[in-house]
Structure 1
Amino acid sequence: MLRATLSAAILAGAFFVAPAKANNVNPWQQCGLGAMVFPDNGTAAAISNVIWDLGTTAVSSNVSSQETCEGADVKTAQFIQQTFPVLEQEIAQGEGEYVAAMLKVRGCEATAHADIVSAIRNDYADKQATDAQALYSIVESQVTSQFAASCSVI
């Protein structure tokens, strides 16, 4: 248990960086090689990024698209990409260290975590999401709409 706690804390710390500006970006569509090849077609960019390396380069890209590939939303996408199997389990359970770390990375207040996880869990089941990009879309949708007051949109 202590090992899992330390791992979650290390992962959260590795991805939590205070961004310089606000943005609403889908890193799978607006970052990485896909965005460079298909700058005006987010769907094609996302498909390209996922085919190339499952979107790993896109969500970690700060070189190719510096203006758009920064901020809490991109850090959240990175965290989701790298911890997806554990996040999926914890969302199914309704709680967990990694899901709490994900929400902390996104800038959500701890007092709102239970409600946010519940909303994410419902959306995840309703949409039958099965990958990191789908989970990211659900998280961003919740934290920028229903829970905007509890989560920073930096």
Structure 2
Amino acid sequence: MSVNVQADSSKPAGSGPNPYSDCGIGAALFSNTGWAAVTSNVIWDLGSTAITSATASPETCSGKNIKTALFIRDTYTQLVEESAAGDGMHLKTALNLVECGEAQQSNAIQAVRSEMGAALSNADYQGKTHLEKSSDFYNVINKAAARHCSV
């Protein structure tokens, strides 16, 4: 596997995020516990997602992405129920976290509803862990926001 990384010469070497503790699903789940973030990232996918995040888009290693991931993890059951219904406070909050304006949320909700409906009907879905399901929902809501919201 080859990775092409461009260095930002305006910043000193090593000033970027630590990919294992500041990026990836580990940082989203354990933002205040570095060792747990590292462990989670390594267990999840040997840290490849965290490393990719740190090199390709270091701005995703903190801020709204972490808050969104934590919110989805903590309210996943409500989010799935509200997605099926096509409305709900948790769903709107998640869309607000990814900066989807109220005027655009209707189309984004329909996209989330459609994609989550397909995911839920997949035979492999029930065997997934809560963390895997939360990660899937995170990807779905970000995809819907990218398509239907001016983020």
TM-score, scaled relative to structure 2 = 0.56
Task: Provide the alpha-carbon RMSD of the alignment.
Answer: 3.3
User: Does the 8 A contact of 1:34 with 1:44 survive in 2?
Assistant: no
Identity %: 20
Distance 1:104 1:87 in 2: 13
2:38: which partner in 1?
Answer: 36
User: Does the 8 A contact of 2:101 with 2:150 survive in 1?
Assistant: yes
Aligned length: 106
How far did residue 69 of structure 1 move?
3.3
What amino acid sits opposite 1:135 in the alignment?
F
Deviations 1:8-56 (CA, angstroms, capped at 9, x unpaired): xxxxxxxxxxxxxxxxx9731665557635878962349xxxxxxxxxx
1:125: which partner in 2?
Answer: 117
Runs of 4+ more than 4 Å apart: 29-35, 37-42
Distance 1:79 1:71 in 2: 12
User: Does the 8 A contact of 2:24 with 2:41 survive in 1?
Assistant: no
Query: Going by fraction, where is helix more abundant, 1 or 2?
Result: 2
Classify 1:39/1:121 alpha carbon distance in 2 versus 1 (closer, same or farther; 3 Å): closer
Classify 1:127/1:80 alpha carbon distance in 2 versus 1 (closer, same or farther; 3 Å): same
Distance 1:82 1:35 in 2: 17
Secondary structure of the 1:108 match is coil
How far did residue 114 of structure 1 move?
1.1
Distance 2:59 2:100 in 1: 23
Structure whose CA Rg is larger? 2
How far did residue 142 of structure 1 move?
2.1
TM-score, scaled relative to structure 1 = 0.55
Deviates more, 1:133-142 or 1:31-40: 31-40
What amino acid sits opposite 1:120 in the alignment?
V
Deviations 1:73-108 (CA, angstroms, capped at 9, x unpaired): 221111111111111110010001111111111111
Distance 2:110 2:23 in 1: 23
What amino acid sits opposite 2:61 in the alignment?
C
- For structure 2, the residue ranges without an aligned partner over 5 or more in a row are 1-21, 49-57, 127-132
